[in-house]
Amino acid sequence: MLSKPAIGRLEYFFYAYIISALPSGLAAYYLQENNGQFNGTIAVLYIISTIIVLMATVKRLADVNLSPILCILLFVPFINILLVLYLLFASGK
């Protein structure tokens, strides 16, 4: 899916927030249908969504010449918002 070593702002937004919304939306739907009981299908959908976002973030970090390890900041509350905003608005290569 993401074969280039770096992606631009628009591609980052598309992959990280449009494409990953599909598995997350399906997981939320299944969670509602199961009366709030978390099952394996929901977990797999959330894992797929997380992997898509992480892959896009690593490639975007490469585009703005930052270390890919910074994708760990996506798991830190409030810092993740700042990182996403930076990646959406910073100019790349």
Q: What is the pTM of this model?
A: 0.78
Q: Give the model's pLDDT for residue 4.
A: 59
Which pLDDT tens digits describe the chain residue by residue (93 residues)?
545 577 888 888 888 888 888 888 888 888 888 787 777 877 787 888 889 889 999 999 999 999 999 999 999 999 999 999 999 898 877
* C-alpha to C-alpha distance for 17 and 91, rounded to whole angstroms: 19
Distances (CA, A) of 77 to 63, 74, 80, 81, 82: 24, 8, 6, 8, 10
CA 44 to chain centroid: 15
- State residue 20's pLDDT score: 81
CB 57 within 8 Å of CB 87:
yes
Looking at residue 3, its pLDDT comes to 54
